[in-house]
């Protein structure tokens, strides 16, 4: 039976299990939204800016076990506004399907209103750009987009939809979803890996992005592997929830700028197993550990895409497989008889980690040490809380003072895009009603995408948004001070901010102010007690305490 392309696209999204689309309305895809109004299975979340909508779609995918989130934007300016989310999904290896309107087919090449060549425009931030110019390929294009976005190294895929195609009739059948394809390790590779681990006296196991959406059973298997094989496990940059920070086999957080004493101990390792980690410049400490392209220690890299392994670093062993399959295979083989020889090594790493995470901090003369806030928040976090973070030095306090554990969901832009914190928390609160969604943002990022608090209000979501306000772009100020000591830089980073608590109240949220450390405990308790609306907590933070590890004008704390 003939139906419109708009209807076919709506049915194709439903067939792929899509129940939520994050969007900013546009006239270039009215034929699709018209069809979606007749499909109650799909919820349209109308956002306030395409950048915020994009971050919400990225977060939504991560909360659904690695299934692609869906972003719907209009052509030209709409897609341009969403580029920060595509950049994040590309670098973070996060599946995302972007549906974008286009000018009518008869106007191609005329520089019609908002026309762009999306194959060129998106070539460096997508896995593919699929242009649907033939009605018979509409459903097939949706199936291809999800398959590509979720396979191998996940990432964003754009589907370009001309404005005049939606009302075209078609008899083409609905394209069924492609089955997920998972790579498995070869037996000879497992033999080699098991042998390398058995011989190692000081191994490191880093767990990263390819495990970011692992289910509870996989993370439990990882815990068993660490215990049975006596291995230290370190989550990598912005993946802290992959291993319990209080477990005795937790080997320290391998984030950006690892504290000196932990990094120096790690450098004594005789084997590095990157289990689901791409090994970016952030994780490798600017390509110094391991060194690129030839690591200074034996390296095993496990990643689901063979094209990624060896792209930057030369591994001694590369395994193109899902890391969960490798974990299960090693458990099945059983640990070496002398695995206990590594107990001292594991205990030493965990001891350093425990000392670094001790809830100690100094009061600051110019504002609240953000450490006090993070320690207070940690006491209120539920085992299934979603915690989001913007990019910035304030996030170092999160990773130093909050001990994450499996079951919690940490959402952020691994590549360091500002503006992710608020929309990702809104998405978490909408996707998981009744469960905690807590955003940490700086005063810079808060006004980039903070308007999405209006989206939270519209859909009855109740995230807690904690804003660290030190009246500057603090990370950039720190870099100025480190690179150009004793030079003025205030004019390059200074911000003038609103009263964020009052700003929150204008939207209908609860507004709470923390002006001194004495107010922290009560204020955070009040914030978590509110369940029926968003909460904005405005923290007047110290600028002198530049990060969890560094003060202004002083050497870096803990190296």
State the pLDDT confidence band at 541, using cuts at 50, 70 and 90: very high
Q: Is the pLDDT of residue 270 over 60?
A: yes
Per residue in 346-378, pLDDT (tens digit) is 999 999 999 999 999 999 999 999 999 999 999
Condensed to tens digits (0 to 9), the pLDDT of residues 466-505 reads 999 999 888 888 888 888 988 888 888 899 999 999 999 9
Please report the pLDDT score of residue 393 as a whole number: 92
Q: What is the mean pLDDT of residues 130-154?
A: 96
The average pLDDT across 209-234 equals 96
Mean pLDDT confidence for 286-292: 97
Confidence of residue 556 (pLDDT cuts 50, 70, 90): low
pLDDT at residue 554 in the model:
64
Count the alpha carbons within 13 Å of 529 in the hemisphere toward its beta carbon.
8
The Cα–Cα gap between 538 and 513 comes to 5
Helix, strand, coil percent content, the chain, rounded in steps of 5: 40, 20, 40
Query: Half-sphere exposure of 522 toward its Cβ, with a 13 Å CA cutoff?
Result: 8
At 112 the pLDDT is 85
Calculate what percentage of the chain has a pLDDT beyond 90: 88
Q: Supply the pTM of this predicted model.
A: 0.95
Return the pLDDT at 111: 86
Kindly tell me if the per-residue pLDDT of 559 is higher than 70.
Answer: no
Percent of the chain exceeding pLDDT 70 equals 99
Q: Per residue in 310-354, pLDDT tens?
A: 999 999 999 999 999 999 999 999 999 999 999 999 999 999 999
- pLDDT in the model for residue 306: 95
CA 490 to chain centre: 30
Give the model confidence (pLDDT) of 410-454 as tens digits: 999 999 899 999 999 999 999 999 999 999 999 999 999 999 999
Q: How far apart are CA 349 and CA 253, in angstroms?
A: 10
In this structure, the chain runs to a length of 559
Rounded CA-CA distance 148/8 in Å is 20
Sign of dihedral through CA atoms 121, 313, 92, 467? negative
């Amino acid at each position: 039976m003939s139906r419109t392309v708009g209807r076919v696209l709506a049915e194709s999204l439903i067939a792929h299990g899509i129940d939520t689309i994050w969007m900013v309305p546009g006239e270039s895809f009215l034929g699709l939204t018209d069809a979606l109004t007749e499909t109650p299975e799909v919820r349209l979340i109308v956002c306030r800016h395409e950048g915020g909508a994009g971050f919400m779609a990225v977060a939504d995918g991560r909360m659904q076990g690695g299934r692609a989130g869906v972003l719907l934007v209009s052509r030209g300016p709409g897609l341009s506004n969403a580029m920060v989310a595509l950049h994040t999904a590309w670098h973070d290896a996060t599946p995302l399907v972007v549906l974008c309107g286009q000018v009518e087919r008869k106007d191609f090449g005329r520089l019609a209103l908002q026309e762009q060549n999306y194959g060129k425009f998106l070539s460096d931030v997508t896995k593919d750009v699929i242009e649907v110019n033939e009605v018979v390929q509409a459903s097939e294009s949706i199936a291809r987009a999800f398959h590509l976005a979720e396979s191998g190294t996940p990432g964003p895929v754009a589907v370009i939809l001309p404005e005049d195609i939606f009302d075209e009739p078609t008899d083409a059948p609905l394209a069924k979803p492609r089955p997920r394809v998972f790579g498995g390790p070869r037996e000879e590779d497992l033999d080699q890996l098991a042998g390398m681990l058995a011989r190692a006296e000081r191994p490191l196991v880093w767990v990263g992005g390819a495990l970011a959406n692992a289910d509870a059973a996989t993370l439990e298997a990882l815990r068993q592997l660490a215990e049975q094989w006596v291995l230290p496990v370190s989550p990598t940059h912005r993946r802290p929830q992959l291993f319990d920070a209080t477990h005795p086999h937790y080997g320290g957080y391998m984030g950006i700028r690892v504290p000196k004493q932990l990094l120096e101990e790690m450098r004594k390792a005789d084997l590095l197993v990157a289990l689901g980690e791409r090994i970016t410049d952030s994780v490798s400490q600017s390509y110094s550990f391991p060194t690129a392209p030839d690591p200074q220690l034996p390296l095993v890299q496990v990643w689901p895409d063979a094209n990624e392994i060896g792209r930057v670093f030369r591994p001694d062993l590369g395994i193109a497989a899902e890391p969960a399959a490798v974990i299960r295979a090693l458990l099945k083989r059983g640990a070496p008889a002398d695995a206990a020889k590594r107990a001292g090594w594991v205990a030493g790493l965990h001891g350093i980690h425990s000392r670094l995470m001790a809830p100690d901090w100094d009061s600051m003369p110019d504002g609240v040490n953000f450490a006090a806030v993070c320690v207070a928040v940690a006491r209120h976090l539920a085992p299934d809380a979603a915690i989001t973070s913007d990019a910035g030095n304030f996030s170092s306090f999160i990773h130093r003072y909050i001990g994450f554990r499996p079951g919690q969901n940490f959402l952020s832009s691994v590549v360091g895009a500002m503006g992710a914190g608020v929309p990702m928390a809104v998405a978490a609160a909408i996707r998981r009603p009744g469960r905690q969604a807590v955003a940490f943002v700086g005063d810079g990022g808060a006004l980039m995408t903070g308007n999405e608090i209006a989206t939270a209000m519209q859909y009855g979501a109740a995230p807690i948004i904690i804003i660290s306000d030190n009246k500057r772009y603090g990370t950039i100020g720190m870099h100025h001070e480190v690179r150009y000591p004793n030079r003025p830089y205030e004019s390059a980073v200074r911000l003038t901010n609103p009263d964020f608590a009052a700003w929150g109240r204008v939207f209908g949220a609860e507004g709470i102010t923390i002006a001194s450390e004495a107010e922290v405990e009560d204020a955070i308790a009040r914030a978590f007690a509110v369940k029926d609306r968003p909460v904005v907590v405005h923290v007047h933070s110290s600028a002198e305490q530049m990060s969890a590890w560094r003060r202004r004008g002083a050497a870096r704390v803990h190296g």
